[in-house]
Structures are given as structure tokens and as C-alpha cells.
């Protein structure tokens, strides 16, 4: 255990054994009227952070002792229920961890117990005392030596970034192009930390589960399996408990994980790395809608750990926060920007080629120049990657006679046609059914797919390349990676291994293949239909599209020596009806700073984030009028009560969501905006009681739930 945590625990345990009252955080229902902390009677003083089992209603639940009351149990004004038991063998959760949870609960407008208990492994809540004791008695894995690896020399840019992280406080934004060697800098920083302090721990986060195995492989090869654990939702409950206990005890020096890992109990935490920090996956979209990236910044500041954010396409919020001082802005941003614009080994960034689809024959899927380029690459033994961010065969089936469409009966969305198993599936509620033999409305047997998904793209590409042969004379090999093709356990790892081994010539997929993967033989990347995001009502859509295309382009030409043998530059092809759009102009130059400057100027003029702060209040109800009526009534009640911060907050009228009905539930939302983050927080905190009392009004019968989303990523 870290010396700081040991001293803290000794001080907290230095108490007599008189009966007392303890305040315990339990997982109470969201937005319930139950208090943040519940009081229980304990036979002995319990240190804050102690894990206990307590009665709640008819159940016995896990709780965290949050505070100690000064009065003894005998002086309690009411008869309190007693603590049922203490989880022996598990050290109390530290003050730093409790502070993080308390901040997250306040900022994201959720209950303290909800955040605290969701951050703990599920098996802590379900294992009995005997089972838990057996888990703790299991011998720890014997420490093993890391493999002896001859460290390659860092480039000048890598060394500069490493030196600044080592010598300065941060937080840091490592702005490095794809293939610039950011991961090696992370590894060196972790290595320095672990060598300097035998009790120090590092947390390294990635946005998605499918990026964890390759990162884990690199860390294990450098530091040994005994020092590295993973934490993500794809693990089984026993695996997650084992990793959590190793981190909590200090046995694991390095924790790798997705957004949930930001809440890992790490008493010696000294370094946090958030790779691909721009990725929307760091924002939780169900329950407590926290941003793991933003919590990482707060946690690092609170516990004195250094924080490194890394990306080739940083979020505009992080880019703005890392702006250097200027005559107009002498202070600059609060982050230190570290630039790594060059690829490792003199590898060149891909040349971006745009195809004007307005000049191509009608209904063309693959333009002739792109098809010729793919053919040439395959014949030379190179790999190609084709990106279409829509899975399935086609977005909708339709009848040409009566205009019937394959709408979901439970959602205001279409069911997507999946040809591979002849099914129609809703990607919002999961409802699935067989494809009808004829139109359900008029009986016309001629129902046809409209639009394209990755399934259809794979099929059409196979037909177009049917006569193409690889360098060894064998036929071309095409594979597809998306949420459908990787549903089975281990499918994604198997398919990625085939790509890395050179067993795939053309890889078709969604954004799953566009980020983080180190494909060494890919020399051409193509985006087939990217225009949809250019004219979205969501002001963040251009930022997301540019990041996706830049990340996808970064999969090409990563191995400089291998590309030099081929003698042809790597390429990124974009098929578009708007080839001169500013997004594609900036992409052609690989000029993220210019793109960011243009977007930030527009946002500042429109008073949008990061120059303003937003929250959404969403209402789900049986009907749309009930949902909107609840939000309107809550806004009127807030104005009538003159809530704190209201004078600095704008409440916009409620509107339906883009997909307003999901699983039979109508959804509406209200935007709250302010130029002051504290004013917005004060208002939201005061509004909680108003929202609860408004829901209790019988006029809003039919309201299913309401929730608050602070700093939303999609509006």
C-alpha cells in the first residue's frame, strides 16, 4: 500500500470501540427522495471508506462508510438499523477516491451512492463473507520479470514530450499525428514513474474495449504480467474483481481500461494517460453521464497525479484549453501542449485524394479511379481499408407501390435490413424479425433495399474484384469488421489477427477499424459515403467527421520501411459530392490546427462550447405531450422560485429527440445553457428538488423517468 494511504488509514482507525452512528452511501434509486447518506448503528467506529453490508428495506446491500457522526448510537434520536457486517480483508477506500466520487455526483447531478457503488466490482455486492474470504486467501500471482526489451531511441519530438512530462506539472495535451509514437512516450513515462517510486501506480485509458488487448500486450511485454491489470465492461465479474483488488491493494502498478477505469481505487496513483482523448466513448451515455476524460483531469489535480491527454485530433475543448499565450490572451490555456507532428521512421502521412461523385455515373458505389487504385494495391500484395459508418445491408426496405418502409413498431426509426440472416433489426431497441416475403401493406412481392451498409458494401466489392488476383495468383480476400460480424466472443480478436497476419486484402468496416489499430500493411484507406455528417443539425458533427477521417487515414502507411519497398505513397481516398468543403480541404492538408481554428471561431461567434456550458434535461414518457409538458412545467417552476443562478442561465423550449420514440417510450429534451459553469451548476443543483416535486404532480402521470446530462456530446 502507498505510504500516504497507510498513514491515512492509521489515523482513521485510531478510535475507541464505543458504539456510534455511521453515514453510509448505498445505491439508492436515481432521483429518489432518499437522502445522499443513510445513518446506521455500528458497534465500533468504522473508518471512512470501509465497505459494509447494511439493511435497506427488505434487502441487504453493499455500502461505503462515508463519514462518522459524533453522537453515539445511544444518543441517536431514532432507532437506527445496525450495520450487518464489514467486508474483512479489504482496506478502506481512500479519501482521494471518495473525493472523486463526491465531485462526480455533484457535477453530474447524480446520487452519491449511485456513483460510488457503480464504480465497485459487482461481485463485491454479491459474494457472501465466506466466498469473499476465499477470494482474498487465494495466493497472489508470483511477481515475474518483464521481458528484456532493447529500447529503441526516441525521436527528437518524442524525447521533448517525455522530458516536459517528466519536468513539468501539466496537465499535458500530446498532439501527435497518427503514427508519431505516442504510445512509446506513454510507456517511457510509466517506466520512469515506476522506477522512481516503488509504490507509484499509473492509469492508462483507451476509448474502446477492442483497443485494450493490443495495448495490454505492449505493456505486459515491457513490465511483466504481474504488474499490469485491465478494467473494462467486457470482463467477467470474477476477472473484474481480481483486477480491482490488485489495483486497490497496490499490487498492480499499471491499470489499463476504458472509461470505467477512471474510478479504479489506486492508492498510489501518480500518472493518468487518456489516449485518443477526443473519442466520444469516454462519455457515459446511460445512468450517470460522466466524462471519464474530464474526471481524469479533476482526479489528477486533486491527488497530485500528472495527466497526459493524447490525440492526433484533440477535442476542441482540449485544444482550446491548451492554447499557448498570445498578446491577446497572455495567460493562454491551462494545459501544456506537446507537439509531435512527424511520423516515426520517416513514414509519410497519406496523400488525400478526393473523388467528386457528382461527376460519376448515377448510383455509383465505387468510382472507377478508386476501384483501379484498390486493384493495383491488392495485386502488389498491399492491404486496403474501406470505411462506411453504417452496419447492416441497407438502412431500410421499401415498397415501390405503396411506399411502405421497414419501420420499427416500437421506435420512430427504420429497421435495418441484414441480408446475411434475412432479418430486419432495430439498432435502437433491438427488436428483430424475419424479412417479409411481400409488402405487409399491399402484398407487392417487390420490396427493395434503399441505401447501403457494410454488408452490401462487402458484397458489391467482392463482385467488382471477382477477377482480381493477388501477387501469388490467389483470389482477393475481403473481410468485414463491424458490430454484427464481431458479436461472438473472441470474433474481433480473431479477425484483427487475420488482418495483422496479411490474410486479408481488403477490410470493410465501420469506425471500429478507424482508430487505434496498428495495421502495418495497409497502404490505402477509402471513405465511401462520409457526406451525411456535413449538414447535421448537431454542431459537433463536423468535428466528429474530421476526427474519424483523420484517424482512418492514419491507418495507412504506418510502416515506413515496408512502404519504401513498395515504391508508392500511401493514400486516403474520399468519395464526396462536396469536394471543396472546408472539412475535406483541411483533411487534404492534414491540417488539424486550421480546422480547429475555423471551428472555434464559429463556436465563439455562436456562444457554443467551449465558450459556453450546456446541460440537457431529458424526459421519457408514454406520450410526447406528457414528456414536453413535464419539462415546460419544471422550467416554469424554476422561474417562479427564482432559483440560484437562474439570471445567468437560458432555458430553451422542450423539443423531441431526433429519434423521439424508442422501445415505445417518447423522448423530449430541454437545453440549458450558460456562459458561467458555476452558475449552471448552482442552478442544476437547486433545480433537482423542483424536478422531483414536478414529477409528483398527478398532471404528469405517464412520465417514465427524467435525467440530467451535463456537458452533453450530442444535442
Report whether 384 belongs to an annotated binding site.
Answer: no
* Three-class secondary structure of residue 292 per DSSP: helix
In 444-540, which residue ranges form alpha helices assigned H by DSSP?
A: 454-464, 491-500
User: Residue for cell digits 497526459?
Assistant: 308
Q: Is 570 annotated as a binding residue?
A: no
- Whether 439 has a binding-site annotation, put simply, is yes
Residue 192, classified by CB atoms within 10 Å of its CB into exposed (0-12), middle (13-18) or buried (19+), is: middle
From CA 5, how far away is CA 268, in angstroms rounded?
8
> Helix (H, G, I), strand (E, B), or coil: what is residue 300?
helix
Enter the DSSP assignment of 393.
S
Residue 402 annotated as binding site: yes
Residues 6+ apart with CB under 8 A from 119: 101, 260, 263
Q: In angstroms, rounded to a whole number, what is the distance separating the alpha carbons of residues 46 and 21?
A: 9
C-alpha cell of residue 404: 411502405
Count helices and strands (H / E) in the chain.
20, 28
Q: Which helix (H) or strand (E) holds 635?
A: helix 624-640
Select from 432, 433, 428, 431 the least CA-distant residue to 662. 428
Q: Name residue, grid cell 472523486.
A: 100
- Among 268, 228, 262, residue whose Cα is nearest residue 91: 268
Rounded CA gap, 345 and 558, in Å?
Answer: 9
Per-residue cell: 344:
516515426
Half-sphere exposure in the Cβ direction for 695 (13 Å, CA): 17
Q: Is 426 annotated as a binding residue?
A: yes
Determine if residue 189 is labeled as part of a ligand binding site: no
β-partners of residue 672 are 615, 651
Phi, psi for 568 (deg, rounded to 5): -130, 140
Binding positions for Zn(2+): 399, 402, 408, 411, 426, 429, 439, 442
Binding residues: 399, 402, 408, 411, 426, 429, 439, 442
Amino acid at each position: 500500500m502507498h505510504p500516504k494511504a497507510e498513514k491515512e488509514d492509521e489515523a482513521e482507525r485510531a478510535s475507541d470501540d464505543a458504539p456510534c452512528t455511521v453515514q453510509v452511501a448505498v445505491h439508492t434509486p436515481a432521483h429518489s427522495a432518499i437522502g445522499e447518506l443513510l445513518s446506521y448503528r455500528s458497534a465500533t467506529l468504522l473508518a471512512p471508506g470501509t465497505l459494509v453490508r447494511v439493511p435497506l428495506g427488505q434487502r441487504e446491500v453493499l455500502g461505503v462508510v462515508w463519514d462518522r457522526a459524533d453522537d453515539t448510537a445511544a444518543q441517536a434520536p431514532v432507532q437506527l438499523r445496525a450495520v450487518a457486517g464489514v467486508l474483512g480483508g479489504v482496506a478502506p477506500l481512500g479519501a482521494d477516491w471518495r473525493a472523486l466520487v463526491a465531485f462526480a455526483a455533484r457535477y453530474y447531478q447524480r446520487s452519491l451512492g449511485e456513483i460510488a457503488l457503480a464504480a465497485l466490482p459487482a461481485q463485491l455486492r454479491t459474494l457472501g463473507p465466506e466466498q469473499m474470504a476465499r477470494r482474498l486467501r487465494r495466493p497472489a500471482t508470483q511477481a515475474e520479470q518483464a521481458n528484456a526489451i532493447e529500447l529503441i531511441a526516441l525521436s527528437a519530438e518524442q524525447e521533448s514530450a517525455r522530458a516536459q512530462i517528466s519536468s513539468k506539472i501539466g496537465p499535458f495535451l500530446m498532439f501527435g499525428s497518427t503514427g508519431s509514437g505516442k504510445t512509446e512516450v506513454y510507456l517511457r513515462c510509466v517506466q520512469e514513474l515506476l522506477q522512481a517510486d516503488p509504490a507509484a501506480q499509473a492509469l492508462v485509458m483507451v476509448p474502446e474495449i477492442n483497443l485494450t488487448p493490443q495495448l495490454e500486450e505492449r505493456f505486459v511485454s515491457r513490465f511483466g504480467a504481474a504488474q499490469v491489470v485491465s478494467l473494462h465492461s467486457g470482463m467477467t465479474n470474477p476477472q473484474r474483481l481480481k483486477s480491482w483488488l490488485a489495483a486497490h491493494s497496490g499490487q498492480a502498478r499499471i491499470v489499463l481500461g476504458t472509461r470505467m477505469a477512471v474510478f479504479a481505487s489506486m492508492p498510489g496513483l501518480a500518472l493518468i494517460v487518456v489516449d485518443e482523448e477526443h473519442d466520444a466513448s469516454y462519455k457515459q451515455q446511460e445512468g450517470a453521464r460522466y466524462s471519464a476524460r474530464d474526471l481524469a483531469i479533476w482526479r489528477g489535480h486533486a491527488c497530485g497525479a500528472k495527466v497526459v491527454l493524447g490525440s492526433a485530433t484533440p477535442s476542441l475543448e482540449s485544444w482550446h484549453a491548451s492554447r499557448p499565450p498570445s498578446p491577446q490572451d497572455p495567460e493562454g490555456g491551462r494545459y501544456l501542449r506537446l507537439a509531435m507532428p512527424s511520423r516515426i521512421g520517416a513514414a509519410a502521412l497519406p496523400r488525400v485524394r478526393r473523388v467528386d461523385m457528382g461527376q460519376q455515373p448515377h448510383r455509383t458505389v465505387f468510382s472507377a479511379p478508386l476501384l483501379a487504385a484498390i486493384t493495383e494495391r491488392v495485386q502488389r500484395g498491399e492491404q486496403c481499408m474501406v470505411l462506411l459508418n453504417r452496419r447492416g445491408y441497407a438502412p431500410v426496405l421499401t415498397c415501390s407501390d405503396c411506399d411502405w418502409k421497414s419501420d420499427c413498431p416500437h421506435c420512430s426509426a427504420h429497421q435495418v435490413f441484414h441480408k446475411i440472416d434475412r432479418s430486419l433489426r432495430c439498432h435502437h431497441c433491438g427488436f428483430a424479425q424475419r424479412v417479409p416475403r411481400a409488402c405487409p401493406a399491399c402484398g407487392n412481392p417487390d420490396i427493395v433495399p434503399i441505401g447501403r451498409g457494410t454488408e452490401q458494401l462487402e458484397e458489391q466489392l467482392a463482385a467488382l474484384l471477382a477477377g482480381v488476383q493477388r501477387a501469388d495468383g490467389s483470389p482477393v480476400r475481403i473481410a468485414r469488421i463491424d458490430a454484427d460480424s464481431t458479436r461472438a466472443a473472441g470474433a474481433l480478436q480473431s479477425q484483427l489477427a487475420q488482418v495483422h497476419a496479411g490474410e486479408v486484402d481488403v477490410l470493410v468496416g465501420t469506425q471500429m477499424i478507424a482508430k487505434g489499430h496498428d495495421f502495418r500493411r495497409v497502404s490505402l484507406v477509402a471513405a465511401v459515403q462520409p457526406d451525411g455528417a456535413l449538414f447535421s443539425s448537431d454542431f459537433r458533427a463536423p468535428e466528429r467527421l474530421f476526427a474519424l477521417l483523420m484517424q482512418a487515414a492514419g491507418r495507412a502507411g504506418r510502416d515506413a520501411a515496408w512502404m519504401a519497398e513498395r515504391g508508392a505513397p500511401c493514400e486516403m481516398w474520399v468519395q464526396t459530392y462536396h469536394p471543396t468543403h472546408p472539412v475535406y480541404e483541411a483533411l487534404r492538408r492534414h491540417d488539424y490546427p486550421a480546422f480547429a481554428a475555423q471551428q472555434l471561431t464559429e463556436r465563439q461567434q455562436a456562444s457554443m462550447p467551449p465558450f459556453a456550458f450546456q446541460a440537457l434535461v431529458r424526459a421519457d414518457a408514454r406520450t410526447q405531450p406528457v414528456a414536453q409538458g413535464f419539462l415546460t412545467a419544471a422550467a416554469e417552476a424554476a422561474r417562479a422560485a427564482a432559483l440560484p443562478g437562474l439570471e445567468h442561465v437560458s432555458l430553451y423550449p422542450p423539443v423531441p429527440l431526433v429519434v423521439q420514440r424508442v422501445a415505445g417510450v417518447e423522448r423530449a429534451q430541454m437545453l440549458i445553457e450558460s456562459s458561467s459553469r458555476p452558475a449552471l451548476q448552482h442552478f442544476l443543483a437547486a433545480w433537482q428538488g423542483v424536478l422531483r416535486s414536478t414529477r409528483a404532480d398527478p398532471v404528469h402521470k405517464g412520465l417514465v423517468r427524467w435525467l440530467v446530462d451535463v456537458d452533453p456530446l450530442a444535442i
